[in-house]
Amino acid sequence: MYLVVLVYLIKGWAALRSPKVKADPGILGTKVTLLIAARNEEENIRLTIEDILAQDFPKHLLEVIIVDDHSTDSTADIIRSYAPQGITLLQMNEAQKLNSYKKKAIAEAIKLSTGDLIVATDADCRMGPHWLSTVVSYYETEHPVMISSPVAYFQEKSFFERLQTLEFSYLIGIGASFIGNGRASTCNGANFCYRKDVFYEVGGFSGIDDLASGDDELLLQKVAERYPGRIGFLKSREAIVYTHAKPTLAEFMQQRRRWASKSTKYKDKSVVALAVGIWLFNLSLLVNAALSFYKLVFFEVFALQLLLKYIFEAAFLLPITSFFKRSGLIVLLIILSPIHVLYFVYVGLIGNTSKYQWKGRVVK
């Protein structure tokens, strides 16, 4: 089943075509509200804002709202210093404890927004000058109601971070491939946009606001249910948003626990069943490895499983890493593939059974 899934993903990625975009950003006509929810991002937010201000998208069509989510550092002051350049600061002041501050921040910003198209990114992201115009050009050309765009890690400082970059490419590829096959399952909120009227039409975050995470994937699945086939993946290098891998194992595991926590809330239960099936496949690898100490035939099955897993994952990842211009990372798959088995089984177990730390808060 896992190999069939990988063939399905390979087919989906291949089905995505590089979009035709308008050469002159000056002819674009969509009013855009760019939203960022930021908490304790004093080390990163200035660079992100500078990249946004450097966009070649028409300035009179761009509104930028950055929500300060109760930062305890100088994040709000940095954002406020860009007010003369058109950056709007919205500060949250909820006295009541929430479990999903980010969804609340985005929802409040959308209430204030004047744009027709909502573009969301994160406060620690970097982007090239053609990012926004590429996204909007795709929107005006193809008329999707929601767009998932590529996200990549960069500036790795360790071998561990390079392994994360390869694994993250796999995750981005999964979301893209499902869309390429005409179904929407996953995406990444660091590079995500949707029509404002569609956000309100599906009830915004209502019904998915009990989880801290899910402002991207769970919203995508609500929209996919209402507008099947109207969600696009922007397969363009100009549209890539860059962010950083986690420097420590503890931070990495907290992030992945957060991502895994929303999986059982997916509206498309066939995707949940698929995730469980893949988890069981990885569990079977561990079981066969353990049983190898008792009978050689189990080792033979384990070795065959691992070999086929590696071959098919390499076939899936080669075009994706090529798209990101990181083909050299594929050599790390021989190390990542067996490690991924342990990690996938572990995160699948704890992702839905315990609370975790996120931005200095304990959430579920």
| Per-residue pLDDT tens digits for 118-137 | 999 999 999 999 999 999 99
Are 350 and 236 members of one domain? no
Whole-number CA gyration radius for the chain: 21
Domain termination site, one of 203, 218, 248: 248
Per the structure, the complete domain to which residue 352 belongs is given by 269-358
Alpha carbons 299 and 123: distance in angstroms, whole number: 47
Residue 261 lies in a domain: no
Alpha carbons 62 and 51: distance in angstroms, whole number: 14
Residue 38 has pLDDT above 70, yes or no: yes
Which residues are paired to 121 by β-bridges? 36
Using the Cα atoms of residue 332, residue 333, residue 337 and residue 343 in order, give the sign of their dihedral: positive
- Whether this model's pTM surpasses 0.95: no
Give burial (CB, 10 Å; 0-12/13-18/19+) of 111: exposed
Residue 130 lies in a domain: yes
Closest CA to 198 of 266, 117, 107: 117
How does residue 215 score in pLDDT terms, banded at 50, 70 and 90? confident
Are 160 and 300 members of one domain? no
Are 20 and 87 members of one domain? yes
Residue 359 has pLDDT above 70, yes or no: no
Q: Which residue has the tokens 């795709």?
A: 138
Specify the pairing of strand 192-195 against strand 146-148: antiparallel
Give burial (CB, 10 Å; 0-12/13-18/19+) of 183: middle
Alpha carbons 171 and 236: distance in angstroms, whole number: 17
Average pLDDT over residues 230-254: 94
Residue 358 has pLDDT above 70, yes or no: no
Residue 198 lies in a domain: yes
Contact 213, 258 (CB under 8 A): yes
Domain termination site, one of 248, 281, 303: 248
Are 291 and 227 members of one domain? no
Alpha carbons 187 and 213: distance in angstroms, whole number: 12
Average pLDDT over residues 276-284: 92
Sequence length of the chain is 364
Percent of the chain whose predicted confidence (pLDDT) is above 90: 76
CA angle 107, 35, 355 (to 5 degrees): 60
Q: Identify how many contiguous H helices and E strands the chain contains and give both numbers.
A: 12, 12
Residue 263 has pLDDT above 80, yes or no: no
How does residue 109 score in pLDDT terms, banded at 50, 70 and 90? very high
Alpha carbons 114 and 20: distance in angstroms, whole number: 27
Q: Which residue has the tokens 């406060």?
A: 123
Average pLDDT over residues 265-282: 82
Residue 94 has pLDDT above 90, yes or no: no
How does residue 355 score in pLDDT terms, banded at 50, 70 and 90? low
Are 234 and 290 members of one domain? no
Are 244 and 274 members of one domain? no
Residue 353 CB contacts under 8 Å (≥ 6 apart), including other chains: none
Are 298 and 177 members of one domain? no
Contact 68, 79 (CB under 8 A): yes
Percent of the chain whose predicted confidence (pLDDT) is above 70: 93
87, HSE (Cβ side, Cα atoms, 13 Å): 24
Are 48 and 157 members of one domain? yes
Residue 258 lies in a domain: no
Q: What is the pLDDT of residue 264?
A: 64
Are 177 and 207 members of one domain? yes
Average pLDDT over residues 95-120: 88
Say which range, 16-30, 188-202, 253-267, 315-329, has the weakest mean pLDDT: 253-267
Q: What is the pLDDT of residue 99?
A: 66
Residue 185 lies in a domain: yes
Contact 293, 18 (CB under 8 A): no
Domain termination site, one of 248, 278, 300: 248
Q: What is the pLDDT of residue 357?
A: 60
Are 321 and 206 members of one domain? no
CATH number at residue 72: 3.90.550.10
Mean predicted lDDT score pLDDT of the chain: 91
Residue 364 lies in a domain: no
Our count of domains for the chain comes to 2
Residue 147 lies in a domain: yes
Q: Outline where the chain has alpha helix (H).
A: 2-15, 45-53, 75-80, 101-112, 131-142, 159-180, 196-201, 217-226, 249-260, 269-291, 296-323, 333-350
Residue 76 lies in a domain: yes
Are 134 and 215 members of one domain? yes
Are 218 and 305 members of one domain? no
Distance of CA 98 to the CA centre of its chain: 23
Average pLDDT over residues 345-350: 85
Contact 271, 181 (CB under 8 A): no
Q: What is the pLDDT of residue 232?
A: 96
Say which range, 59-63, 228-232, 265-269, has the weakest mean pLDDT: 265-269
205, HSE (Cβ side, Cα atoms, 13 Å): 22
